[in-house]
A and B are shown apart, each in its own frame.
Chain A
Amino acid sequence: MGRFHQHDDDHGHHDLDDKGDHSGYATGTERIEVLERIFDENDRMAAANRADFDAAGVTAVNLMSSPGAGKTALLRHTLERLQGCVRVGIVEGDIETSIDADRLDGFGAAVSLINTANGFGGECHLDAPMVRSALPRLPLAELDLLIVENVGNLVCPAEFQVGEHRRAMVYAITEGEEKPLKYPVMFRSADVVLVNKIDLLPHLDFDLDAFYTNLKAVNPNVPVIETSARTGQGVEQWCDWLSNRRHG
């Protein structure tokens, strides 16, 4: 273990009754330097996933949002539109149940479900090892695009790379204008923000300009697409964004 920092001083005898030691420990304490990033292991696995995607010519998009923002409904529209021109695989993260995976059935996409329940009540995010475990169930070589539908949560998924090339975030205008300031890590990490449920705008006391001001404060240059899974608004533009990110 080359990491150990060796002390040159005082490796001698330590007596239990040593008057100079008030720590309550029977022996002295040595501080060693480690300097390891906590996410190193996850990031190594993410790099391995990304290498597999690159080798297969697949672009991977990590799709994140709070619960109920409309990820799955938007994905249904997305798959419908891309069917026949872009070959799509989905990694579907869900704490429990296959309901969302079932909702994506029948659109020609290969879906691999990960349930994150693990005895502790379920993980709140997908990490790189979880996504890796889902890959054998997908025909990567036959895909152009892999969408990783993360667990609905504005906090945890932002901290974990899964091997994606790009991050897309679905935000629903029913969530309130202040969300970018409350959850800056996710908003800052997004390469595109879909402003969803935009059809509800006339019915809400929602200040769209205030939302954009807050969004620009945490992620000044992020592209935005206003979408509605109900009317289909913005889905074409979103599909263009997805297609443009495909490998040549």
Chain B
Amino acid sequence: MHELSICRSIVDIVNRNAAGREVRAVHLQVGQLRQIVPDTLVYCWSLVNDDTPLAGSTLEVESIPAAIRCRSCAATTTISAPVLVCGSCSGTDVEIITGEEFLLTTLDLAEA
């Protein structure tokens, strides 16, 4: 359940950036190589924000597929399992190019 402490970190970032304005939605990008469960995150969001000014806000999670690039043949492979093998030459000397994101991208705030 690290989603709970993660939500507290998100709250800190949101409050700092919203600077007192009403927050309607918080947009995140979560890479699929992260062991962060979007549904759990959304549940924890309501839990940590109960009775706070963020109680009415929603957490919108965009899941980012994982992709690797092979250092031997330069092919790019989108992977659905965490197996780091080039889809083209089966090489294992690969680098992860997407899938490890964990970002707060944008906030939807009430216009003043």
Contact = CB atoms under 8 A, between A and B. Distances in A.
A236 interface: no
A188 B112 CA distance: 46
B92 interface: yes
Interface in A80-110: none
B35 A29 contact: no
Contacts of A184: 33, 82
Contact of A181 (B4, B9, B82, B110): B82
Contacts of B28: 38
B36 A159 contact: yes
B62 to A, nearest CB: 13
A188 B104 CA distance: 24
Interface stretch (A133-141, A194-202, A212-220): A212-220
SS class of chain B's interface: helix, strand, loop or mixed?
mixed
Interface string B79-112: 0011111000000110000000011111111111
Contact of B106 (A34, A42, A185, A216): A34
A41 B93 CA distance: 31
Contact of A34 (B13, B82, B85, B92): B13
Nearest to A219: B84
A155 B105 contact: no
A216 to B, nearest CB: 7
A27 B111 contact: yes
B2 A160 contact: yes
A35 B104 contact: yes
B102 A39 contact: yes
B66 to A, nearest CB: 10
A34 B105 contact: yes
B9 A41 contact: yes
Interface in A25-42: 25, 27-42
Contact of B107 (A31, A155, A188): A31
B31 to A, nearest CB: 10
A202 B71 CA distance: 40
Nearest to A185: B35
B103 A38 contact: yes
Contacts of B103: 35-38
B102 A37 contact: yes
B24 A25 contact: yes
B10 interface: yes
A218 B5 CA distance: 27
B75 interface: no
B86 to A, nearest CB: 11
For the complex of A and B, 3 pairs with smallest distance between CB atoms = A184-B82, A156-B2, A220-B92
Interface of B: 1-2, 4-6, 9-10, 12-13, 17, 19, 24-25, 28, 33-36, 81-85, 92-93, 102-112
12 contacts: A28-B110, A29-B24, A31-B106, A34-B17, A35-B104, A37-B104, A38-B104, A41-B12, A123-B5, A181-B83, A185-B82, A218-B82
